[in-house]
Amino acid sequence: ASEARAATTSFDFEEIMAGVDEKHYVAKGYDADVLLRWGDKIFADSPEFDPMNQSAESQAKQFGYNNDYVGFIPLEGSSEHGILVVNHEYTNAELMFPNWATIGKDGEGKDKVNNGVFTKEIVDIEMAAHGGTVIEIKKTDGKWAPVLDSKYNRRITATTEMLISGPAAGHERLQTNADASGTKVFGTLNNCAGGVTPWGTYIMAEENFHGYFGGSLSEDHREAANYERLGAPAGWYSWAEHHERFDVSKEPNEANRFGWIVEVDPMDPTSMPVKRTALGRFKHEGCETIVNPVDNRVVSYSGDDERFDYTYKFVSNAKFNAEDRAANKDILDDGVLHVAKFNEDGTVDWMPMIFGEGPLTAQNGFESQADVLIETRRAADLLGATKMDRPEDVQPNLTKGTVYVMLTNNTRRKAGDENAANPRADNAFGHIIEITETGGDFASTKSTWEILLKCGDPKVAEVGASFHPSTTDNGWFGMPDNCAVDAEGRLWVSTDGNDKEKTGRTDGLWAVETEGELRGASKLFFRVPIGAEMCGPVFTPDDETLFLAVQHPGDDGLATFENPATRWPDFEDNLPTRPSVVVITKQGGGKIA
């Protein structure tokens, strides 16, 4: 096996050992440096991080919590100077705030801290720690650093004013007491993964927005079934107690203004982010966009991260304009959203979601395209889309005409409910599907698919994992979540949910072969400290830098501010553990491979 590997492996790095401890590890010969930590300055005049004296005002000028998606936007085509965009998905109050005794999590995963009392001050800090960061960064003498006096730097939070555009903009179901126009909303929530568009904008995907809403609706309320399909209001946070708009009893349409794709122009820090309703409303894990080589239209892929939910792609009507950046400004407002049906014969139908077509009619409660988009999940249910094992990142690979779909896990799939694309009942470790878009046409409505990898421990026969036999005991993983494709078209997968009990290892970044006799072989490149999830991965265009996000380090389910499972990355007794972006470079320079 080692000879075969030497002959055809795409990856040269020396694999690291899987395991669980307080530190991070990267393959030999590479540096992993902490670039930005929760609380770090984003502006030259930001206050210093002072965890014992936090305020919403300070937090709004500092790096937010729980970095997830990371994107790199080159300045003038450079791989050594650009704008880093980072999502701040959510907050862990028990790890953020001092003197709060964690008494565990309830059945919904809600933090029950500080005897259940969240003051407005705390809630406002949480709101300022959400959203995203846009920050100029530069590599000097081989090391990256933020440029704090940059004109591009900006924080986006749960209170930043945004526009709503596309077919659902202005619809009465999006109107509220504060916004009779249905076109303006404050903030973006639970931005998990995201994307950078071919015209250099930053996409923030709104995922578990239902957790921020409280209150209740009567069963016969117009939005009751809509909200129930999304699990809203889940009341994971106490925001509704201090901000009425998060209480659906008081502001029943506010939750319709979340669950969208948000586009930000990082080149203009005064620009208003825009919620693009044409891409549908659901729990978007991310949104990765390419220019279709066949016709220059724009195609965006997005997974809906819930057990038994769906995989989507949006195809623009207009063509991408490479000569005039501004011409692409509203390209995501006009196009067709499709949902995937993975057939048993290895084909996939990308079914258009158009008002008036098929079941998407008044008979089924849809009066317009706006209704189809506001209730994307119900529309997809009616179309008979394939119920998946939690679609996370969906990543097109332009160099190969393929698309990778990360399906993280679904232990609620029962025996008898399997389908060809989700073949395992009690799927604890997830799998990866590879779609081949017909003829390299990413706008194709009829393509093919196969399973690239069934995850989990290959030594345990009942798990049914399908890693290539050359994969070592360090090389297998469970629970794929995000992924990146490097400049050579190679796949790198990051995970969410590996731990000592489930897999005997932390989360990390694995390099996965997709071609040739080693297809399905995997190698561990980087691993996170205990309690963390691995997010981010993105390469600079020259493949010489890799950015990774270490999310919720120290969170082992019992940890508190005072007693985290690790004090990564500072390892100082007076500092809490901090989610951080890590930058990987090769010692002495060169490509990451």
Half-sphere exposure of 45 (CA within 13 A, CB side): 2
* Partner from Ca ion, ligand FEO, none contacting 207, C-beta within 5 to 8 A by type: ligand FEO
Site residues for Ca ion per CB under 5 A: 192, 393, 395, 481, 496
**Contact of 189 with 256, CB cutoff 8 Å:** no
Cβ 576 to ligand FEO shortest distance, Å: 22
* Partner from ligand FEO, Ca ion, none contacting 46, C-beta within 5 to 8 A by type: none
**Contact of 452 with 432, CB cutoff 8 Å:** yes
Cβ 289 to Ca ion shortest distance, Å: 11
- Other C-beta atoms lying within 10 Å of the C-beta of residue 52: 10
| Distance, CA of 341 to CA of 384 (rounded, Å) | 7
Cβ closest to ligand FEO, residue 288 vs residue 392: 392
Cβ 408 to ligand FEO shortest distance, Å: 7
* Partner from ligand FEO, Ca ion, none contacting 136, C-beta within 5 to 8 A by type: none
Specify burial of residue 294 (Cβ count, 10 A radius: 0-12, 13-18, 19+): middle
Cβ 305 to ligand FEO shortest distance, Å: 3
Cβ 191 to ligand FEO shortest distance, Å: 9
| Distance, CA of 146 to CA of 82 (rounded, Å) | 10
**Contact of 305 with 405, CB cutoff 8 Å:** no
* Partner from Ca ion, ligand FEO, none contacting 223, C-beta within 5 to 8 A by type: none
Cβ 366 to ligand FEO shortest distance, Å: 27
* Partner from ligand FEO, Ca ion, none contacting 179, C-beta within 5 to 8 A by type: none
Cβ 397 to ligand FEO shortest distance, Å: 20
Site residues for ligand FEO per CB under 6 A: 89, 192, 207, 285, 305, 392, 481
Cβ closest to ligand FEO, residue 28 vs residue 412: 412
Question: Collapsing DSSP states into helix, strand and coil, what is residue 551?
Answer: strand
* Partner from ligand FEO, Ca ion, none contacting 393, C-beta within 5 to 8 A by type: Ca ion
**Closest CB to Ca ion: residue number:** 496
Cβ closest to Ca ion, residue 169 vs residue 403: 403
Cβ closest to ligand FEO, residue 111 vs residue 513: 111
Cβ closest to ligand FEO, residue 89 vs residue 247: 89
Give the Cα-Cα-Cα angle 304, 466, 70 (nearest 5 degrees): 40
* Partner from ligand FEO, Ca ion, none contacting 94, C-beta within 5 to 8 A by type: none
Strand order in the sheet with 431-436: 288-291, 297-303, 311-319, 335-342, 347-352, 446-454, 431-436, 402-407, 391-397
Residue (of 160, 174, 193, 129) closest to 274 by Cα position: 160
According to DSSP, the residues that pair with 337 across neighbouring strands are 314
Cβ closest to ligand FEO, residue 183 vs residue 494: 494
Which residues make Cβ contacts (< 8 Å) with residue 260, sequence separation at least 6?
164, 206, 275, 276, 277, 279, 280, 281, 284
